[in-house]
Amino acid sequence: MVETVIVKKFPIKLTVAGEDINAVLSISFRFVEIRNSQDSSVTASQNHTMADSSTTEEYQIDSDDSVNFNSDESPKKETDPDQVKRGRFFSWKRRRLSFFMGRKKVKPSTAAVDVDVEPFSGGNNDGEWELKEFVSRDNKTILTSPVFLSSFDQCSEKAAGESACTALVTVISNWLHSHPKETPTKSQFDTLIIEGSSEWRKLCSREDLINQFPDKHFDMETVLGAGLRPVGVCREKSFVGFFGAEKFDCLKGFGMSFDDIWDKISENEESSIYIVSWNDHFFVLKVEKDVYYIIDTLGERLYEGCNQAFILRFDESSSVHRKVVKDDEDDEEDSTTDEDEDEEDSDDEEDERKEIVCRGGKESCKEFLKKFLAAIPLEELENEERKKAVPYLALHQRLQIEFDLTLPIIQS
């Protein structure tokens, strides 16, 4: 006999004593397949205790249906206060979506143009940091920051790790914990990508995991549970929230805003290593007192057409500028005389095309995540919200971001 358990979860709002409370309604369906000697089968609801020899398969289905209940009318239900508080019942790590990370099917999170390349000393033995300029995909923001590139990324034939990002961030996090004062050299970075991709392919050979994840895009619980490396997650110091949470009524009180999360992360002066989940992809954020690193094994995340894994270093040399549109300067242009315009040289005109947003590691890294990753989906959803309320699931899929603090596991 094989028992199948299907769990369907609904976000609900309860009205208790006149106050609205966010909660989760969990409904479990159990089915059992019984085979006779002629291999015929009958599927029936399972309402009795199963024998010890039976096998159980569990599936979780997240629903985008929102349900409102009054406390006097609501049926019996189970609510988890910690889940409500943390908003993890729609966690990306628990969703089973069919996203293929291959080169042709990935919609890049950012597009960038790199100019003004110059060597930058960053301490890597077999490669150089370069101070480069990147333009956000919406063409409104410019990042200038040191970057370090691997020889290839996870989608290359050499790595063969198209959907290996969860295994890769686990392997990279373990290396960073083992080398607390270092960033990988180019050859080390290449090796980590190969190792992580190899670990992912081993997981792909397990029939139980492929039955659970047919797209081979494993969640973090599965990879950490597989014990690829001695790395764990500290839930008490991990965060889940949304870009632009304050802009949507249904997100207010339903999770932290990105800005609130960033304040929590940056107030800790100790070195910390986070696995970040956004848009069904995982990358690593290393936080130090004055320097922040983003380590990503998918080149397309840096700019369209990039096929090399990268490390972005945010430090005192980093800066973010906003492109200035001509309409923003109409008052100043009206007051400028022809004589003044003749005196302006090309350098002055170039400077007038952009204005500083921030400088330094912490703020530049924050603005990169907001303006390079989330700017386009946030603007699109804001436009939709003006026409009609955007469903929570759509906001969750496109705006939710998670920061899981990793810790080394001491092995006896």
pLDDT digits (tens, 9 = 90+) for 392-403: 888 888 999 999
Query: What pLDDT is attached to residue 14?
Result: 62
369 plus 233 within the same structural domain: yes
The answer on pLDDT for 100 being more than 50 is no
Domain that holds residue 184: 115-318+360-408
Per the domain annotation, does 195 fall within a domain? Answer: yes
Domain boundary among the residues 55, 79, 103 is at: 79
Among 75-84, 219-228, 386-395, name the one with the lowest average pLDDT: 75-84
At residue 12 the predicted structure's pLDDT band, cuts being 50, 70 and 90, is: low
Average pLDDT, the chain: 75
Q: How many domains does the chain have?
A: 2
Per the domain annotation, does 58 fall within a domain? Answer: yes
Averaged pLDDT, 304-308: 94
Averaged pLDDT, 150-174: 97
CA distance 163 to 128: 28
Domain boundary among the residues 79, 99, 123 is at: 79
Please name the residues in contact with 228: beta carbons below 8 A apart, sequence gap of 6 or more: 167, 170, 171, 199
**Are 86 and 99 within 8 A, CB to CB?**
no
Per the domain annotation, does 326 fall within a domain? Answer: no
122 plus 261 within the same structural domain: yes
| Residue among 294, 308, 299 nearest 176 (CA) | 294
134 plus 213 within the same structural domain: yes
135 plus 241 within the same structural domain: yes
Query: What pLDDT is attached to residue 254?
Result: 73
Query: What pLDDT is attached to residue 21?
Result: 59
The answer on pLDDT for 133 being more than 80 is yes
Backbone torsions φ then ψ of 202, nearest 5 degrees: -65, -40
63 plus 146 within the same structural domain: no
124 plus 33 within the same structural domain: no
Per the domain annotation, does 139 fall within a domain? Answer: yes
58 plus 142 within the same structural domain: no
Neighbouring C-beta atoms of residue 33, cutoff 10 Å:
14
Per the domain annotation, does 188 fall within a domain? Answer: yes
Residue 9 CB-half CA count within 13 A? 20
The answer on pLDDT for 1 being more than 70 is no
140 plus 275 within the same structural domain: yes
Q: What is the dihedral of CA 338, 339, 341, 347, to 10 degrees?
A: 170
128 plus 69 within the same structural domain: no
141 plus 290 within the same structural domain: yes
Residue spans of beta strands (DSSP E) within 108-209: 115-120, 129-135, 141-149
33 plus 147 within the same structural domain: no
Among 168-182, 233-247, 343-357, name the one with the lowest average pLDDT: 343-357
Dig out the tokens for 256 from the structure. 């932290």
Per the domain annotation, does 267 fall within a domain? Answer: yes
Per the domain annotation, does 375 fall within a domain? Answer: yes
For residue 299, what is the domain's CATH number? Answer: 3.90.70
Per the domain annotation, does 339 fall within a domain? Answer: no
7 plus 130 within the same structural domain: no
